Chains A and B, each alone.
Chain A
Amino acid sequence: MIFRAVEDADLIQRVRKGDVEAFNHLVSLWEKRVFNYLLRLTGSPDDSLDLSQDVFLKAYQNIRKLDDTARFGPWLFRIAHNEAYSHFRKRRPEADRDDAERMEREPARTVAPELTLAVTSALDRLSPEQREAVVLKVYQGFKFEEMAEILAIPVSTIKSRLYTALDLLKIELAPTNSRGMR
């Protein structure tokens, strides 16, 4: 992670001098993480790709406003979080239904379909705030302080959301755990 931060900082300096290729390199390092974060929030690959493009465009346009280049990751995910919630506010109910149908038709590529479906279903039962806390911690591996920066809320609130979500997931996944992880 330290090497990644140093590489990010170097690329950011080059971007600030107008080097578009440096920014494309930066995008290539982060696009999969941003895409999957958005995918787990929205459930739609199409929306996630569109939102990812918007996220990186905004990042490019505002990269001079980033004070600490070592904090590029949380800063980028802060933009992604804002884009996702802006998308939720604009999204029509019909779009929600379409996405739900698509998710049912096209379950994620998996090794163990039974466990995958159980995990997807358990995550869907969480509130959006709890799900985002799980995504940022379990899937993206951010520290609590970074999550606080991304979500603009106190660490105590993040811990509360995450641990409540894990209690619910533990109950939901208990039978599956004993079957699938044995």
Chain B
Amino acid sequence: MTCNTDLLRDYAFDELPLSDRPAMQRHISECADCAAELDQLRLTTAALRVLPDQEPPQRIAFVSDKVFVPSRLWNWAPWLGFASAGVMAAALVFTVAHRPVEIRTVVQTAAFQPVDDIVKKAVQQVREEDAQLFTAALKASETKHEREHQILMDAVAMFQQSNNTRAITEAAGQ
């Protein structure tokens, strides 16, 4: 056997296959360098082990808590998987069969119906108010025209009366 540092280290850490150990032991007994290397390795690991393990400052313990207790449902996990897949498939078939578009349309119609009524009422109210305003304005305009017409007629009457008076006075003077 020739010198092989890696195999020597495997031997030192008890990782060399059982069948290879006798040959390695013979080699170490005959090779001063490998024997010295092995001693050095054992010294180094012994020095490392001088650092003692420490006790944990606190003990770790768990209390029974339903949140963390493994559920018995785990035993049924495969069947639950099939069951949930079946439910999803049924839901898919049901959804397709019942035309969700129509359902959504109904819901939308129902939701928008009051809005349409409100708009219609508002428009009607505005139209009625406009009509009232127009009627009032027309009436006011007619009243104004009548008043102006009356004033004009009064003025004409006064002018005619004045002319008549002057004609009578002139006739009387002649």
* Chain A residues near B (Cβ < 8 Å): 15-16, 18, 20, 23-24, 27-28, 31-33, 35-36, 39-40, 45, 48-49, 52-53, 56-57, 60-61, 63-64, 108-112, 115-116, 118-120, 123, 134, 137-139, 143-144, 159, 163, 166, 169-170, 173, 176-177, 180-181
Contact = CB atoms under 8 A, between A and B. Distances in A.
A60 B68 contact: yes
B13 A112 contact: no
A119 B64 contact: no
Nearest to A24: B61
A16 to B, nearest CB: 6
A48 B55 CA distance: 11
B54 A36 contact: yes
A123 B49 CA distance: 12
Chain A interface, DSSP helix/strand/loop, else mixed: helix
A27 B55 CA distance: 14
Interface string B38-60: 00110111111111111111111
A13 B14 CA distance: 31
B18 interface: no
B48 A20 contact: no
B52 A52 contact: no
B15 interface: yes
Contacts of A118: 47
Chain B interface, DSSP helix/strand/loop, else mixed: loop
Interface of B: 5-6, 9-10, 13, 15, 40-41, 43-64, 68-70, 72, 74
A120 B47 CA distance: 11
Given A49-B57, A60-B68, 20 more contacts: A18-B69, A20-B62, A20-B64, A24-B61, A31-B56, A31-B59, A32-B53, A45-B57, A49-B58, A56-B60, A109-B54, A110-B51, A111-B50, A119-B51, A123-B48, A170-B40, A170-B41, A173-B44, A181-B46, A181-B47
Given A61-B68, A64-B74, A53 B52 contact: no
